[in-house]
């Protein structure tokens, strides 16, 4: 007897369409059989695998090319798929890593006593070094440019952050404005275009 097999090409389909198509195909088997779904991203593979296992199928994903997977669903009996189940299918899209940008716009933290504000900022930058999740980027501009220059009380902490992979960027226009362009002691000089890119591309922006 011929094998009861359906092949679904879901390449190029956004989540949850591969899951929807596969559910419908499993329901159409009307007995034991195999559905093979072709997809082009790992998220679809993970969601298809989860769905197939929940339906009692034996699921075997096979990567056949750089961006091509053939996910095989073997059912030893009819798979029950409710009429509205396929249409209401959802999928989980894993969140990418957060990109935290810290913008330091002053050499003092908060509003009020400037001396206290400088102590607070030093404490804040030290506290960043103790976090489990470090920021991706720290941006220094306006009087915050002083914090990355010679004489700053935070240089050791900023160097530790830089060594740990944190991007330290200071506005070049600000360095020139304050006459401290030759005093930069940690990180790199940047411009407002890059600052705008970093802020708009960040998952979270923190301003102490």
Contact 140/112 with Cβ under 8 angstroms?
no
Residue 15 is among the residues annotated as catalytic for this protein: yes
Which listed residue (15, 91, 149, 171) is catalytic? 15
CB-based contact 62:70 (threshold 8 Å): yes
Question: How far is the C-alpha of 128 from the C-alpha of 166, rounded, in Å?
Answer: 10
Question: Strand locations in the chain, DSSP E?
Answer: 5-9, 33-39, 58-65, 68-75, 100-104, 137-140, 167-171, 188-190, 204-206
Rounded CA-CA distance 158/149 in Å is 11
HSE-CB at 183 with a 13 A cutoff on CA atoms is: 16
* 104 φ/ψ angles, rounded to the nearest 5 degrees: -105, 105
Active centre residues (catalytic): 15
């Amino acid at each position: 007897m011929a094998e009861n097999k359906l092949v679904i090409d879901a390449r190029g389909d956004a989540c949850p369409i591969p899951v929807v198509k596969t559910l419908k195909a499993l329901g159409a088997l009307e007995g034991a059989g195999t559905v093979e779904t072709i997809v082009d991203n790992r998220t679809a593979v993970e969601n298809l695998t989860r769905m197939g296992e929940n339906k009692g199928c034996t699921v075997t994903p096979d990567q056949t090319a750089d961006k091509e997977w053939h996910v095989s669903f073997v059912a030893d009996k009819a798979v029950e798929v409710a009429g509205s189940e396929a249409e209401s299918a959802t999928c989980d899209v894993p969140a990418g890593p957060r990109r935290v940008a810290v913008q330091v716009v002053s050499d003092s933290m908060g509003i009020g006593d400037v001396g206290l504000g400088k102590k607070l900022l030093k404490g804040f930058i030290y506290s960043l070094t103790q976090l489990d999740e470090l920021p991706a980027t720290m941006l220094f501009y306006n009087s915050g440019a002083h914090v990355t220059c010679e004489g700053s009380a935070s240089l050791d902490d900023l160097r530790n952050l830089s060594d740990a992979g944190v991007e330290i960027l200071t506005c070049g226009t600000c360095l020139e404005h304050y006459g401290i362009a030759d005093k930069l002691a940690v990180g790199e000089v940047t411009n407002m275009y890059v600052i705008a890119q970093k802020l708009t591309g960040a998952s979270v922006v923190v301003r102490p």
